[in-house]
Amino acid sequence: MKVKDAMTREVKIAREDSTIEYIANEMKDLNIGSIPVCDLNNRLLGIVTDRDIVVRGLSQGKGENHTIKDVMTKNPISVSSDTDLDEATKLMSQHQIRRLPVVDNGTLVGILAIGDVAVRDNFVNEAGDALSSISEPSKPNI
């Protein structure tokens, strides 16, 4: 099975100049935890997560009127729609991420969330394994 068979195609996107407040409200209204950031040609520039807003934004003194350009994750890990779903879940596990932007020819075409994989009967175990790895606490550097 390919990523295109499981991904969400209707994706809310943001622009770099969107405010933290606007994006936080969009996440709340849509009940989502991340929004891809694209330019005017739908080229992926980054992704902003609820965690980015808190860790890189609010905790660093960047309030609601700051733009997401300073808090977003730049150059996020992404896959193409023809990527094998098993390979995508391995990437999610390896990089401890729950959402993968899907990019074809440089343009955002969807997003693959761990939940999209979990609802596929053939991939329940892979989704569980990926989620276990994603949810593992990071080990302190001693």
Domain count, the chain: 1
- Asked whether residue 140 is assigned to any structural domain, the reply reads no
The secondary structure of the chain as a DSSP string is -BGGGTSB-----B-TT-BHHHHHHHHHHHT-SEEEEE-TT-BEEEEEEHHHIIIIIGGGT--TTSBGGGTSEES---B-TTSBHHHHHHHHHHHT-SEEEEEETTEEEEEEEHHHHHTSGGGHHHHHHHHHHHHSPPPP--
Tell me if 25 is assigned to some domain. Answer: yes
**Is 59 within the bounds of a domain?**
yes
pLDDT tens by residue, 119-128: 765 544 554 4
Range of the domain at 119: 3-135
Answer whether residue 119 is part of any domain.
yes
82-128 per-position pLDDT tens digit: 999 999 999 999 999 999 999 999 999 999 998 888 776 554 455 44
In a domain, 142, yes or no: no
CATH code of the domain containing 123? 3.10.580.10
Per-residue model confidence as pLDDT tens digits over 6-52: 999 999 999 999 999 999 999 999 999 999 999 999 999 999 999 99
